[in-house]
Structure formats: C-alpha cells, structure tokens
Structure 1
Amino acid sequence: MTTTSAGPRPSAGNPSAAWASPREPQAVAQLLARLNWPLSVNAHEPDSAPQDYRIEPWHGSAKGHLLGIIPALHPDQLGSAAFRQYHGVRYAYMSGAMAAGIGSESIVEEMAQSGMLGIFGAAGLSPERVEQALTRLEQNCGGKPWGANLIHSPSEPRLEAAVTDLYLRRNVRLVEASAFLDLTPNIIRYRLSGVHQRGHEIVVPNRVVAKVSRVEVATKFMSPAPPKLVAHMVSTGVLTEEQGRLAAYIPVAQDVTAEADSGGHTDNRPLVSLLPSLIALRDRLQDEFKFAEPVRVGAAGGIATPQSTAAAYLMGAAYVMVGSVHQACVESGTSDVVRKLLAEAQQADCIMAPAADMFEMGVKLQVLRRGTMFAMRATKLHELYRTYASVDDIPVAERQQIEKTMFQTTLDHVWQQTVEFFTRRDPRQLERAEKEPKHKMALIFRWYLGQSSRWANQGLPERRLDYQIWCGPSMGAFNEWTKGTFLAEPPARKVSTVALNLLYGAAYVQRANALQWTGFPVHPDWQRVIPQERQTLLDLIN
C-alpha cells in the first residue's frame, strides 16, 4: 500500500476510472487497498500473455476474457458473524487478558470504543483491585461489551472463588477462562448462574471464552458441565434445579481460543496444528451434543502481522486474540522501559521459565530473555526447590548467593513479608507452611517470581535484571513488520491503531492472494502491507 504510482490511480469517488496492468504494481496495490471495491482480472484474449492482463473495478461484466473476480472484503467481514453478533462487536478481534493488569482498563476501553472486545487482566490482582477496575469499566465503556479474566489458581483456590463471587455480584457478563487444567466449581458456577428457560429458548446470561492449548482441556470446555459436579452443586444449593437440568444443553464455553505459541502460559503449540485440531474436535462434539449454537473456535499466539492474522481467519478462526503485541502499546499496564524492551525484541529472544502461580507443579511460561536474567534466576530457584526439602537444607553459600543476587535481602526477611501478605490474602497457606517446610520454601521462592513481574510493570531501574516480561515470538514478528515505519517507535503503538492495521492488513492480504490465484503476475509492491496511521485506515475502511 504505497503512496506513489506511475500508472492509473484509483479514484475514491469514481472507481470506474481506475485500472492497472502488471507493469504498474503500485497502481495495483492502490486498487487492492480499496477494500470495498470488487475487482476483476481480464485479458483481451484467452491466450493473452500474463503481462497483458489488467485489473479494474468489477461492474458486473468483463471487458474481454474474465480470468477472475476479487470480492470486496471489509475488515468487519473477517471471522465469524455469529461471534460479532453474540458479543455485540463490529470486528471479530479480541485483546487477551494479560495478567497483573497489563491487559489494562485503558486497553479494554479503547477496544470497546473501537468495536472490538477487550478483556481486563485480573490474574494476580487482589479482589479489591479487580473491583476497582470493574467500577471504572462500567462507567467508561458506555454499555459496550467487555470482559475480565478468571484464571485457574490451584495454589490459591480461595482467591479463584473470591474473584468468581465478585464477577457474579457485579454482573460481569463475560469472562476469559485461562490456565485451567480441569474444570473447577467456580467456572461452572459462573457459567450456569442465571441460566433459565424462556419458551423453547435457553437463556445463558454469562458468557465464557476459554483459552486452551490442549485437546483434552478443550474437550471439557466444549462439552456440557460434568453431570456429577452439577448434581453436587444442585444438592448443596449452589445451583437451582432448573440450572442443573439445563446444564446438559449448553457448553461450558461458547467460544474456545486455540492458544498457540504465546507469551505467558503456553504449551508452545504451532497454530497451524492446534487450530485445525480444535475445529475438528468442535465438529465431533457438536455432532454428539447438538448444541443450539455451536462452539466457536478462535486463534491466539503468533497473531502479529497481517499475514498471520489473515492465515488464522483463512484456517477457520472465528476470531483472533492478540496479547504480546498489545503489551507493547502505550495503553498497557506495564512500564515504558518494558515497552522499549519489547520493541527491540526479536523472535528468538523468548525463553520458558517457571510460573509463579503453578511453581510447585513445575509449570512454565514464556518470557522475554533479552535484557533480563529472570528466566535463569527463576530456573535456579526451581532447581533448589526440587533438590531440597526446606530452606534450612540449602547450603549456606548457595543461600547467601541467592539472597545477594536475587532477593537482595535475607530469606528470613522475605518470609516476614510473605507472612504479612498471606495473613491478608489466604491464611491457610501459612498454616500449611508451618506443617510442610517445603511449602514454606515454595512461598518464599514464589515471592521472587511474583515480585519480578511487578518490578517490570513499575519499571524499577534497580531491578531491571529481574524483570519478568511475558512475551512470545509474535513480538519479534511484529517488530520486523513495523521496522522503518511509524509503528517502530513505542509511543506510536496505540492499541486501536495496531488492531486496525492487523485487521485491514489481513483483508488486504486475502485480496492480494485472490489476485495471485487468477494468474496475475506477482510483484512485491502489491504483496507488501505497510502500516498506516489510524485516520488513514479509517478513511480506507469507511
């Protein structure tokens, strides 16, 4: 989408005046850029040489021999119309729930105002902080759709329950369920609360978008809630008899996101393998359960360029979800220094490291390696946890080293802070630590893992080597695409501008591919997609 052309130019007011030949690639690019113009590829004779083909707006009849038609394709046509209608958005595009408020209120508000769906990153925050965010979003989103994250917290089940209670009390109608290894009563309680029958219709007030990377977990979310669990929840009064009866007719999640090689929690699965597998799984389960509304499958992980966005839609994604790239935007809840590090990242600059929320289980997440030593240090702590039964068993020299380099204080002082924290948050953790020295060690080590993400979000200069920055290879791909353009600089990376560029670019790429399928000679000038300013995109789109 270049700005100059030696050949005929498309006119915004008179598309009939525009045409181009393979010898005028920039003019071809400008024709493709007008997404609302259907185009035709024609030849004077059936045996004309490809260099003599011409592309022009389609008016229902061809001048010469018709080789193919390139339909108009607006960004709001990408993905599933059912997804857009169900969530009340213009575009089948989501901003994922980046933990610790990195998926900030500002991102969610900007998504809502732009006709997209934003999820507040509630994971790792206290219920009080989450409630503050809910209040702000209710006030600022003006009735437009938005959601909040419900993360599985096996180490802190009371926290997961408290956040679920909060969402139900505040009538939050959409949650993104993430990091679940199995279904818990909390996600079932949220999904089924308020379910009732109206005539022949089952009304389900609460919507769930589940983010998964494994077929076995996807199966649980694409199926009805487990009957035994539902029966128990009915018998204990958590659910009503009607809710228990209707549970068999609705999936736990109406939308399931295939989370591929993403930042944070990930199994590093390639999207080209995971997405088709989950779509096929959905089809099998739909045949089995015959839901009134089939589950939709979206794509996340690696969505960072027009080509990857287009590929996801072409593979059948009902929607795309973007995370890592949005973290580098000015509205994210991280620091300027982190945004700068992300803007310099390359695809190979990511590494797996122990996760704070599932430390004892050995679960890892994907983080930025370049410019920080967090991954190496967190791995060291997990090795110590596996090797020793308690903090007291760690050799003196080893203990002094981690106190000096990682904690920058004594482990005894860290334990004091940990006691203060869990006295407020979950006293049962302290009771368990008194009985199990290894659990006490885990809580101390989790202090470092938990603080490291906060140091990054706050941009503390004295803790720069300890920054935990969730990031996937998509960040490097985005940087490569935007290199040399206005989006290369962090201050220009506004989330709506980035999102519109990906959506517009995806539509452009699909039209360029359709042109190539007609046999029209390929040229880099009309295959290339260059980032554009937001207003320029709006002019082209609208």
Structure 2
Amino acid sequence: MTTYVFPGQGSQQKGMGQGLFEHYQHLTDQADHILGYSIKKLCTEKGYLDINQTQYTQPALYVVNAFSYLQRVEETGMKPDFAAGHSLGEYNALFAAGAFDFGTGLKLVKKRGDLMGRITGGGMAAVIGLHKEQVAEVLRKHHLHTIDVANMNTSHQIVISGQKQDIEKAGSVFESIKDVKLFHPLNVSGAFHSRYMDEAKREFEQFVDTFHFNPLSFPVISNVYAQPYIEEKLKETLSQQMNSTVKWNESIRFLMGRGETEFEEIGPGKVLTGLIQRIQKEEAPITDRNENVRSAEHKGHPDTLEGNAPGRSPSDRQRGLSNNQDEADLHSSSSTEKITAFSLGSAEFKEDYNLTYAYLAGGMYRGIASEKMVVNLAKAGMMGFFGTGGLKLSQIEEAIVSIQSELTQEQAYGINVVHNMKHPETEDKIIDLLIKRSVRNLEASAFLSVTPALVRFRAKGLRRGPNGKVISVNRIIAKLSRPEVAESFLSPAPESILQKLLAENKITSEEAVLLREIPAANDICVEADSGGHTDGGVAYSLMPAMTLLREEMMEKYRYHKKIRVGAAGGIGTPEAAMAAFVLGADFILTGSINQCTAEASTSDRVKDLLQQINVQDTVYAPAGDMFESGSKVQVLKKGVFFPARANKLHDLYQRYDSLSDIDQKTLTQIEEKYFKRSIDQVYEDIKSYQPLKEIEKAERNPKHKMALIFRWYFRYSSDLAIRGSGESKVDYQIHCGPALGAFNQWVKGTELENWRNRHVGEIGEKLMTETAQLLNAKIQSLFQSAL
C-alpha cells in the first residue's frame, strides 16, 4: 500500500515550488485572489514577504504541497491508499482525499495561519533522547506546569510548547539530564499545539463550521487521534488539531500496522521521510486498530474514538474542562479580526460555487454580458452569467464552448436564461443545450413561477449522499422581486410538473423522489430597482421580507441545506453593497455597472454615453418582449429619444385596435422619425424572422399585427445600440439603472473614470474591498459612539 505524507511548518524554504506555479497557473491565480498577494513571489523572491512568518508560511506550504500532489498524480495516474500530514500538512492530505477543493483548503489554511500567527510570545523546543513519559515526568518534577507536549514526532523526539520564558527555563532543566541528547528551541513565534491556542481554536471552530466538506475518497490519518478521520467529525477534529498534540509517531505506527506500506513525502524537503525511517527502525507497528480502520473504509465510521469522549479533544480532557466551560468560553471570546473582501457574504455559498468573493454579475440581454466578461470574472474568483436573451441557439452554444475552453473546472461561470412566456419551446431548447454542454450554474430571470424546463435542469445529476442527503450538481439561482415568485422557487418542484415530466420520460422516478426533497432553486437573488426588466422594488423592504420567507420555507420543508438570499439592483458603490450585506445578503449581484466596461459586448458609442450619466439619467419604458402586457424596463434617457418614442407606441397600442385607426400624420411621423422606413417594409422584415403562426395570427387580428410592428422598433433600437450604428443614435435602447450613475460619481477623477480602463474583475475586487473597509469604519464609529 502507498501512503502520501505532507510536511508542515518548518519545511518551508525560499525557491520552493519553482516551475509548479506556471504549470498550475489557474490555481496560482486563484491563490493570489484568495490571499491578496503573489504566492509565487512569496515562495521564490527574496525581500518580498517573510515566508517564515506563520501567516505566510502556512499558505505557502499548503499551495506547494497541493501542486506537488497534483503533479505526482499527473505523473503516475494513481492516488494513494492512505494520506497523512504533519500539522499544517494534514490540510493537504484532506485536499488529496477530496474533502474540499484547492480554494476552500487555502481559505481554511489562510484563516488558520492568521489566527495562529496572531498569538505571539510563545515558543517551542524539541527534546531529543527522552520518550514522552520521561518528558512529562521532567515537567512535573520541576513544576513546569505551564508547558504542554505539542508533537510526538518519534518515540525519542518530543516537542514541547509554552510561553517563551518558560521554554527558556525548561532548556536549562533538560540540558542537565544525561539522557537528553539535544534541547533545540524552534524558530516559531507561538506556542502551537498547546493550551495557548485555545482562543484561536474557538474562533477557527466558528469559521470552519460555515464550510461544507465532501466524503473522503481514501482514509486520512488524524494528528489528534492517530486514526482515520471520522467524516461526521471532520470539522470538529480539524479545530481540535490546533491545540492538541500531533501524534505523528503513533500515526506512522498505525499505518505500519496495515501491512506492507510504502511512504512517499509530497512537498518540499525530506523531514518526514527521516522521521518515518527512524520510526520504522525503532518502533513496532500498531495492529490492534485495524478493525476500526476497516470499519471506516467499508462500514461507516465508529461513533466514538478510542480513548476519547466524543466531541472532546485530548488536551481539553487533560485540562479538566467541561463542555459547559467550553461553551461559556466560546460565547465570551471576542474576535479582533477585521472584515475583509474575502469574508463578506456566505462562506458556504462561496464554497459551493468555488468563489473567492460572494460576488456575481448578472446576464445582460443579447450577450452584452459576454464570454469575455464571464471569463474575466471567473479568473478573479467571482461568477458571471452569459446573457442568452435574444440570441439564437447556435450563438449560445458557441459562447458556452468558448467560455469552457478558457476556464478550468475550478473556475465558476453560469448561463442566464430569460423566461419566454410566448415560446416555452425556446426555453426547452436552451435547457437541452445546457445539459448537453454540462453547464452547472443557471441564472433564471423574469420567471413568474417554476417551469418544466427549469425542473429538468435541476433534476440532472441529483444523487443521494452517504448520509442520505440529496446532492445536486446543477444549480439554479432565481432572480426575482416578488414574494409569491420567491415562494414558488423556495418550494419543491410542483407535483403537477413532476408528473408531466415523468409521463414524458424527461425525468426518472428516482429524480422525482429527490426533487421532492429539495427547493426548486438552490438560491434566490432579490432584485430591487434595476436596469432592464424591473418591478421597481425597494431593497430596504424586499430583503427583510425575502429573508424571513426563506426561514419560513426552510422550516416548513425541513431542508438540510440552507438556501442563500442574494441582493441585486442599485449596487454600484461600496455604500450600496454595504447596505446589501447589512440587510442580510449572502452574496451580491451587479448588473448595470458591468455594461460600461471593456468586456461588455456593446458598442463604444453606448459606453461613451453610459460613462457620462448620473443617478437621475434613467427612466422606465415599455419592455419590447412583453409589449402587450405593459411590463417595464429601465433604460437610459440622457441623450436619446427612445423612452419617449417607446411610450408613445405603447399609448397608441392601448388606444387603438388597428393601424388603420391611427391618423395618417401620426403614422407618417412613426415611419420617418421612429422606423426610418415604411410600415410595409417593417412588416416584410417581420415576416422573415417571426414564426408562420405569428404572421397568420397577425393577418386575422389587426391589433396583433400592430403589436408586431410596434415591437419591431424595440428590436431595431436595441440593434442600433449594440452595433453602435450612426444611423439614428437618438433611438438607442440601452437598458440601465441608476447604479451606473452612482458608480460614475464614485470613480470620478480616478483611472476608472474612462470606461476603457474598467474591467469587470477589477471592479468587483475594488467594490468588495472598499465595502469591507467601509463596514469596518462604520462598526468602529458606532462602537466609539456607544462609548
């Protein structure tokens, strides 16, 4: 059997990882976004950052260990039978076993390093020559009660941990003992794996609890218990590791007891290789725990760990702490860590979608939310949705293929689908395409209820996990602004739709069973007043109502996984984003501000217009795709006549039953000023793209014919804008909300004032970073005011 072992703190060295960063560039980029600095420079360049500082050491080792593992798997095509890691290295062992993805592991390690690095004044030292009982006796005899045993590396290499002055005092004591071959103080800033990490452990416990872990693909040996991880207690055990003894000697002996075992160190240096060789030479295998590991591999893990009460770390038991004391300490401790761009929003949401930031960008109509936009956001650790509305199926497929060719499996992207009330078959074809192309994330816009097409998408890939809970592969984020629509998406798929799809053999009976246990959408995004289709809702009213509804529906259906509620509409400044997060948003979604960027697939002329607007320069106009119903979209009014002309056409439609009822002067004005061609020419153009049944209906119904002809103007005005045509700039239809006006004022006088310097990923990072800074300032201000 093969066991991969991963080194921990102490194995770092400048120059480590050379060649790996370029080979795994996409993960290197992701690491840079998560950490906020260059991981390659940290590891390879002198004078950049101090790699020996704990907050930098741990992420550096995690990244290099992870890349080394991926390279080893590439070279051999094989994964190990077991994995273990020394302290920090245990995170790499869990990554290798699939407990979490690369980005999630790095977020955990970054937090761990920050917390452990914050606790200074401690020290550690290796005592070589005595076994653990002898070390414990020396500590007892000389009243060194403030020192803990941190690592049992081999039977005669024990590491102690405590306050620096106490470690210095212990040095003279151990050096006076004849069997001690060496007392070696370690170059660390903290008393790691000791009681002095209790506060860090409690804070980390809260942090790690916000993440979701996957089942392990092979056993990982825990430092705390020297046995395979119990998956149900993975989070708990990871937290305990911070203040518990690292039982490395016992872990290796346990693995030796599994029979013929080959150990391979993955990562920089050969520290663990030397320790393992010594253990193999000097120690006997532990064979009396084989039944436990067989149970872990084949039958599900045991309920308790040998020698320890459930839910308690050995260090807790040794100190005589009760569970009640632990809980009291947890509630009385306070965190001094500031809010960061990375900590905003739901950690579980970011983990599920593999995001660095809780930041999405909506899918703007006719591909204005372009492939470039989606790719740029994905590489920045965010997620964008390609805008499919108004595009042909072939154009959508080309875009998906292009996006997938640019991104790795770890980078997130999605496709926007706009509800097509009149032509549901179009919606079905898009869903077929998304399933065919293995698109996992869908943004559902303008839906008034759950549709069969959405249910089909949700159904694909559903399975039941080892714990009996439903695991979904395809995810839907429903963008909505009405409670009744939200309730539809927060409920399981309607039974009538399930029965219809079953009868048509479009879902299986097993999929139907699973669909009854989960909501129709994974998450919802509450859209307040915004560009494009909007109900003009007010975020301050909508968000509390929707989050309360979410809680009610979670309780009603007893879902095992939380549905996240995001905020959209009007978000273009840190102040707006701050308000969204304070109102309880698990993530934010921007729209209008992305239309005026280098990546937006609209004309330079449109961007030139948008760059100049303020918050008062938008207005409501009829929506072309829902013209007859009178639905509204928010559009640009500054410098264009489109809103006035669109409203005029809708007024005429409401007042008259046919074009022949309208006076000739008005018709002439429409032809010359609006259409720039005759109504007959417009109708001929309509015949070239509308389905035959629509034309037949128009011939029978004069009012329907009038609607088709008036709706042509909306298509025409949108084309003019996207192409940047000089034919009639005043007729540009540009969907936009006041958020862009606010954004323009925010960046005025900076490099971002010019849209050519605006890139969606950089905008997202800037917005999240300054939102975090603003929140910290506001909290500090409120705190001072309270004093």
SS at match of 1:120: strand
Q: TM-score, normalised by structure 2?
A: 0.57
Counterpart AA for 1:469: I
Identity, % of aligned positions: 39
TM-score of the aligned structures, taking structure 1 as reference length: 0.82
Are 1:467 and 2:467 counterparts? no
Match of 1:79 among 325, 345, 348: 345
Q: After the TM superposition, which residues 3-152 of structure 1 pair with which residues of structure 2 at under 5 Å, given as runs?
A: 70-143=336-409, 144-152=411-419
Matches within 5 A, 1:177-326: 177-199=444-466, 200-326=468-594
Structure 1 position 395, deviation (Å): 2.1
Q: Structure 1: which 4+ aligned runs deviate by more than 4 Å?
A: 35-38
Partner of 1:45: none
Aligned equivalents of 2:432, 2:712: Cα separation in 1:
26
Contact 2:449 2:489 in 1 (8 A): no
State the Cα deviation string for residues 88-122 of structure 1 (Å, max 9, x = none).
11111001111111111111000110110110011
Instruction: Tell me which residue corresponds to 1:166.
Output: 433
Q: Is the 8 A contact 2:606 2:721 kept in 1?
A: yes
Give the conservation status (yes or no) of the 8 Å contact 2:356–2:382: yes
Distance 2:692 2:454 in 1: 23
> What is the DSSP-based 3-state SS (H/G/I as helix, E as strand, rest coil) of the residue aligned with 1:347?
coil
Name the counterpart of 2:243.
none
Q: Match for residue 694 of structure 2?
A: 429
Q: Residue 71 and residue 194 in structure 1: after superposition, are their counterparts in 2 closer, same or farther (change >3 A)?
A: closer
Q: Which amino acid aligns with 1:329?
A: T
Counterpart for residue 409 of structure 1: 677
Contact residue 414 and residue 439 of structure 2 kept, 8 A: yes
1:434 CA displacement: 2.8
1:489 and 2:757 aligned: no
In 1: Cα distance, 2:660 partner to 2:506 partner? 44
Q: Aligned to 1:328, which of 596, 601, 604?
A: 596
1: CA distance between counterparts of 2:710 and 2:497? 34
In structure 2, what is the Cα distance between the partners aligned to 1:303 and 1:37?
A: 31
CA separation of 1:387/1:275 partners in 2, compared to 1, >3 Å: closer, same or farther? same
* 1:156 is aligned to 2:423: yes
What is the distance in 1 between the residues matched to 2:402 and 2:487? 35
Matched, 1:386 2:668: no
Contact preservation (8 Å) 2:597, 2:759: yes
CA RMSD of aligned residues (A): 2.4
1:480 aligned onto 2:748? no
* Cα distance in 2 for residues equivalent to 1:445 and 1:102: 23
Q: Any conservation in 2 of the 1:70–1:511 contact (CA below 8 Å)?
A: no
Q: Distance in 1 between matches of 2:423 and 2:495?
A: 25
Shift in Å, 1:198: 4.3
- Structure 1 regions of 5+ residues with no counterpart? 1-10, 14-34, 41-59, 61-67, 523-542
2:98 aligned residue:
none
CA contact (8 A) 1:70 1:515 kept: no
Partner Cα distance (1:71, 1:182) in 2: 42
- In structure 2, the partner of 1:440 is 705
Q: Is the 8 A contact 1:155 1:357 kept in 2?
A: no
User: 1-side partners of 2:633 and 2:488: how far apart?
Assistant: 22
Residue 123 of structure 1 contacts residue 151 of structure 1 at CA under 8 Å; is this kept in 2? Answer: yes
Aligned residues: 464
Q: Deviations 1:322-357 (Å, cap 9, x if unpaired)?
A: 100011111101111111211111111111001111
State the 1:231 CA deviation: 1.4
- Judge conservation of contact 1:108–1:118 (CA < 8 Å) in 2: yes
CA distance in 2 between counterparts of 1:511 and 1:75 reads: 11
Which of residues 694, 719, 730 in structure 2 aligns to 1:454?
A: 719
One-letter identity of the residue aligned with 1:402: I
Aligned residue identity for 2:600: S
Q: 1:361 Cα deviation (Å)?
A: 1.1
Q: Is this contact kept in 2: 1:213–1:259, CA < 8 A?
A: yes
Q: CA deviation at 1:308?
A: 1.2
> Any conservation in 2 of the 1:359–1:446 contact (CA below 8 Å)?
yes
Alignment of 1:364-383 (within 5 A): 364-383=632-651
Q: SS of the counterpart of 2:496?
A: helix
Superposed displacement of residue 520, structure 1 = 7.3
Q: 1:452/1:245 Cα in 2 relative to 1: closer, same or farther (>3 Å)?
A: same
Question: Contact 1:147–1:173 (CA<8 Å) still a contact in 2?
Answer: yes
Residue equivalent to 1:176:
443
- Residue 476 of structure 1: how far off its partner (Å): 1.1
Offset, 1:74: 2.3
Does residue 609 of structure 2 align to residue 344 of structure 1? no
Amino acid at match of 1:264: G
What is residue 6 of structure 1 aligned with on the other side?
A: none
DSSP-derived class of the 1:361 partner: coil
* Deviation by residue 1:150-208 (Cα, 9 ceiling, x = unmatched): 11011332322221222122221111000112222211222223323344132322110
Larger Rg: 2
Tell me which residue corresponds to 2:769. 504
The superposition leaves residues 460-495 of structure 1 with CA deviations (integer Å, 9 ceiling, x where unpaired) of 122210111111111111111111111111111111
Instruction: Return the offset for 1:293.
Output: 0.8
CA apart distance, 1:387: 1.7
**Alpha-carbon distance in 1 for matches of 2:432, 2:694:** 20
SS of 1:462's partner is coil
Distance, in Å, in 1 between the alignment partners of 2:649 and 2:450 is: 30
Task: With a CA cutoff of 8 Å and minimum separation of 6, indicate the structure with the bigger relative contact order.
Answer: 1
Distance between the aligned counterparts of 1:78 and 1:105, measured in 2?
26
Deviation sequence 1:229-271 (CA, Å, 0-9, x none): 2112212222211122221111111110010011001111111
One-letter amino acid of the counterpart of residue 189, structure 1 = R
CA distance in 2, matches of 1:250, 1:301: 27
Distance 1:170 1:519 in 2: 54
Bigger Cα displacement from structure 2, 149-158 vs 255-264 = 149-158
Distance 1:409 1:217 in 2: 41
- 1:70 shift after superposition: 5.0
SS at match of 1:258: strand
Measure, in 1, the Cα distance between the counterparts of 2:737 and 2:673: 26
User: 1: CA distance between counterparts of 2:514 and 2:661?
Assistant: 54
One-letter amino acid of the structure 2 residue matched with residue 320 of structure 1: I
Alpha-carbon displacement from aligned partner over 1:205-241 (angstroms, at most 9, x marks no partner): 2110110011111111111111122112212222211
Check the 8 A contact 2:527/2:568 in 1, yes or no. yes
- CA shift, 1:392, in A, is 2.9
Distance 1:511 1:71, change over 3 A: same
* CA distance 1:436–1:193, shift in 2 (3 Å): farther
Deviations 1:485-541 (A, max 9, x none): 11111111111121111010011011111221231799xxxxxxxxxxxxxxxxxxx
* Whole-Å separation in 2 of the counterparts to 1:330 and 1:521: 45
Distance 2:470 2:337 in 1: 38
Q: For residues 108-156 of structure 1, give each alpha carbon's deviation from its aligned partner in whole angstroms, at most 9, with x where no partner exists.
A: 0001101101100111111111111011011112222111111101133
Distance (Å, rounded) in 2 between the aligned partners of 1:280 and 1:108: 32
